Amino acid sequence: MYFNINLLCLMLGFFLANILSTLPAQTGDWNIISGGIIATCNEIISKFIYKNKYIQKIVTINFINNIKIGILYGLFVDAFKLGS
């Protein structure tokens, strides 16, 4: 059961990365800025999660981590699409 939810969270993060990186980039000059903002927010969330030792034991933290992995994966895929 947890594998299905983890996979769903990963795909949700990938979908969110596609939405967040393509909506502001409609004009073509916000690609780098939107990617930087998404990566910065991702790192701030990681800072708050891993700062407290007791929060790491909660099961939902795994789901949040899978969403963050999906977001970073989506940004890499968008970068490869823009580079080709």
- How far apart are alpha carbons 77 and 68 in whole angstroms? 14
| Residue numbers of the domain that contains 51 | 2-83
Q: pLDDT (tens digit, 9 = 90+) per residue, 24-70?
A: 766 666 777 777 888 888 888 888 878 877 766 676 778 888 888 89
**CA nearest 72: which of 34, 42, 31?**
42
Q: For the whole prediction, is pTM greater than 0.85? A: no
Q: pLDDT (tens digit, 9 = 90+) per residue, 16-31?
A: 888 877 777 666 667 7
* The total number of structural domains that make up the chain: 1
